[in-house]
Amino acid sequence: MKITVIAAGSWGTALSMVLNENGHDVKVWVRSETQVETIQKTKRNEKYLPGIEISEEIVFTSDKSDAIKDAEIIVFSVPSQQYKSTLEDFIALGLIRNDHVIVNVSKGIDMVSLETVSQITQRLLPEVPFVALSGPSHAEEVALKLPTALVSASKSRACAELIQDVISNDYIRVYTNPDVMGVEISGALKNIIALGAGISDGLGYGDNAKAALITRGIKEIATLGIAMGADMETFKGLAGVGDLIVTCTSMHSRNRRCGILIGQGHTLTESIDSVGMVVEGAYTVKAAHTLSQKYNLDMPITQELYRILYEDKNAREAVNHLMTRRRKHEMDEYATNLEGWI
């Protein structure tokens, strides 16, 4: 198939390599003409995937019209806070057709509108099929052809299975899921929890603390997801707990690396600058914090991370606050059905 990838960050570049290897005709749109020239000359994208050679068959271009004029599938790999403006640019040029399939691989919630990427797409392009591709997937490992499992989520079974077929090969296994909202909330909020895991590491806390954070984190992710119409089963799967584990435990995770620096005493700005790439969780925490208030939800990890990042709360004080909250039953939904527990 003819497939265009929008943006050549680490994940966009890695996916373009997968799609090319799977036999598809791949173009990659890059905002910077200088970056296009560098990639074409060196056959590498050193900033995002250092040391990885890129096939000459993949075409890189900064021309929007040239990028998608023949495309059947458009894969958006721009940071979530840039998705709406980037999509609107292509729409304004009349380049998006109803027979396109839009696939999004970024993980976040728009800070201004509080919309997920699927909600933005539905509002702007209600007739265009949409797929969310997510799961535990570091681009660095995919580029090295290490075994990876993903989730293709769409309201259209045909579209979910199309992307499953397009991407699957002997080192990438793709599962389908109709719960787009659950997959998107999982991908967005796991970045917040990964920031917390990094802060915990930066403070010098151990595996016990991280295990607790991951476990209570998936509960918090599910709390918001269910309030927004998601299915609980999604949070138990690859897009939920799977992606959360990999992001909280790996140094490939820019969110975790950013958190480590914050835990060591650096400011948010210093930490993001040091990571050198977009740290989605730093922005999504604002949206998640506002959504928790909108839906009147108890999301203490999100709340404390928001205070650390944007209200200059001391990280150790935030951890102490979490540890000394009112004692409660682990499973809130069961706490009112304990008549027989003596």
**Residue 287, H or E segment:** helix 280-294
CA atoms of 270 and 259, how far apart (whole Å): 11
pLDDT above 60: residue 334: no
One-letter identity of residue 216: R
CA atoms of 8 and 329, how far apart (whole Å): 46
Average pLDDT of the residues in 299-314: 96
Average pLDDT of the residues in 90-117: 96
pLDDT above 80: residue 38: yes
Average pLDDT of the residues in 212-222: 96
Q: Which residue has the higher pLDDT, 338 or 85?
A: 85
In this structure, what are the phi and psi dihedrals at residue 92, rounded to the nearest 5 degrees? -60, -30
Confidence of residue 328 (pLDDT cuts 50, 70, 90): confident
DSSP 231-282: -HHHHTSIIIIIHHHHHHH-TT-HHHHHHHHHHTT--HHHHHHHH-S--HHH
pLDDT above 80: residue 2: yes
Q: Tell me what pLDDT residue 340 has.
A: 67
pLDDT above 60: residue 61: yes
Q: Tell me what pLDDT residue 335 has.
A: 53
Q: Tell me what pLDDT residue 325 has.
A: 85
Average pLDDT of the residues in 226-252: 97
Q: Which residue has the higher pLDDT, 340 or 87?
A: 87
Contact 265, 172 (CB under 8 A): no
Q: Tell me what pLDDT residue 327 has.
A: 84
CA atoms of 137 and 242, how far apart (whole Å): 9
Average pLDDT of the residues in 34-47: 94
Planar angle of CA 299, 305, 309, nearest 5 degrees: 145
Average pLDDT of the residues in 59-81: 96
- Tally of CB atoms within 10 A around 247: 28
Q: Kindly provide the b/e burial profile for residues 285-318, where b requires at least 16 CB atoms within 10 angstroms of the residue's own CB.
A: bbbbbebbeeeebebebbbbbbbbbeeeeebeeb
- Mean of all residue pLDDT scores within the chain: 95
Catalytic positions are 190
Q: Tell me what pLDDT residue 190 has.
A: 97
Q: Tell me what pLDDT residue 337 has.
A: 63
Average pLDDT of the residues in 238-260: 96
Average pLDDT of the residues in 137-163: 97
Q: Tell me what pLDDT residue 341 has.
A: 73
Planar angle of CA 291, 273, 220, nearest 5 degrees: 25
Average pLDDT of the residues in 22-45: 95
CA atoms of 40 and 239, how far apart (whole Å): 34
CA atoms of 250 and 146, how far apart (whole Å): 15
pLDDT digits (tens, 9 = 90+) for 251-280: 999 999 999 999 999 999 999 999 998 999
